[in-house]
Amino acid sequence: MKAKVRPIRLPAGRRVLVISDIHGNLPFFKGLLKKAAFSADDILILLGDILEKSEGGLEALHYVMELSRRYTVYTLRGNCDDITPAFVDGGRHIPAAFYPRYFAAWGEKCAAVKLAHAAGAAIEDPSDYPAARRAIAAAFPEELDFLRGLPHIYRNDDYLFVHGGVPREERLEELEAHGCMKNDDFLGQGHSFRRWVVVGHWPVTLYHPDIPSAKPILLSDRHIASIDGGCTLKVDGQLNALILPEEPGGQFSYLAYDGNEVMTALDPQAPSADPINIRWGRSRLEVLERGTEFCRCRHLESGRELDILTSYLREDEGGVYCEDSTDYRLPVTAGERLSIVRRTSRGTLAKKDGATGWYFGRLSAPGDGRSPSV
């Protein structure tokens, strides 16, 4: 399947918000739009991956469909939005062997599984698939048509929007669609562009070996903006909205929402030197000393030793791994507000301007409940 490329018109005087990788997290999506005071005067561009990885995918899809009827919304197809229509339509670009493993691993967090069950069909065994395909197609024609109709690329003279990435700006219609949707480590491929190319797909914290950060990455020398904040997939993830400049060539800005409680730091703290960000795909460990709350571990790739939350550890036949972890101490000034990820007996895992790290000072009593990211 070749990439579907469509023009996009962004009239002057209208604010343009770009959001990617909602992954079924409707509360984050609504929270971010509320924080942005989204209105009919704005243009909303969704870079894809509305679905998968959480049980709220169908609700999120319905909300996007409703927004598309009422507002100016441009939505792209991400690789996760492609799974269900590809399954129903028998798309050959996804190997048949993919589905049993994926459905078993994600269960109701997979849209196809949830839709099949909602339609009264089993989908637990490949022998179930023909009936499941027919049941989903009969029960959810509008949803499937919406997903099938999504393009892979939007472009104009100044911007190119795509979920995963592209190798070039010319002859885009000749590109394979799957490579535009699933394009891992796009920033690491060395591309530079004339237009600004805005992508999601790859959580931006994976690009940071030292300080975990979920804020958008803007590479002005290469004209690339990468905005996936790890919503749903990361314990400390957030949903980002990149705000395009009023005029091409101007300054980008962004807003974020992470749903965490926000508290005020009462004590100053200096940042730590030489921190490490242990990330997905590079997180294999050796456990040196087990504890109830923390385990002393050696990170095998770097050789670094650090304490990691016991609840962040997982083990399989390949060894011991962890959720994204760090030993970074946030730089904090007394009076600053922090987004609280996790409170422990030793200190607080917190976020500041998208960066995750530890804070060991005192915190004020929460006064405003669950608030947007700071």
Coil/strand/helix, residue 306:
strand
Q: What local confidence, expressed as pLDDT, does residue 370 receive?
A: 43
77-to-64, 85, 162, 226, 281 alpha-carbon distances in Å = 12, 11, 8, 16, 25
Q: How far is CA 98 from the centre of its chain?
A: 22
Q: Which residues of 155-183 are buried (b: 16+ CB within 10 A; e: fewer)?
A: beeebbbbbbbbeeeeebeebebbbbbbb
372-to-236, 237, 337 alpha-carbon distances in Å = 13, 12, 11
**What residues of the chain score a pLDDT lower than 50?**
368-374
**What span, in angstroms and rounded, lies between the C-alpha atoms of 249 and 157?**
12
Q: What local confidence, expressed as pLDDT, does residue 367 receive?
A: 53
Q: What local confidence, expressed as pLDDT, does residue 372 receive?
A: 41
- Which tens digits make up the pLDDT trace of 150-169? 999 999 999 999 999 999 99
- Which tens digits make up the pLDDT trace of 185-206? 999 999 999 999 999 999 999 9
* Range 34-38, long-range pairs (CB < 8 A, 24+ positions): 35/255, 35/257, 35/372, 36/241, 36/255, 38/71
**What span, in angstroms and rounded, lies between the C-alpha atoms of 345 and 309?**
11
Q: What local confidence, expressed as pLDDT, does residue 286 receive?
A: 97
Q: What local confidence, expressed as pLDDT, does residue 157 receive?
A: 95
Q: What local confidence, expressed as pLDDT, does residue 248 receive?
A: 86
State the Rg of the chain over Cα: 21
Q: What local confidence, expressed as pLDDT, does residue 365 receive?
A: 73
Q: What local confidence, expressed as pLDDT, does residue 91 receive?
A: 81
Q: What local confidence, expressed as pLDDT, does residue 93 receive?
A: 85
**What span, in angstroms and rounded, lies between the C-alpha atoms of 355 and 336?**
14
Q: What is the pTM of this model?
A: 0.94
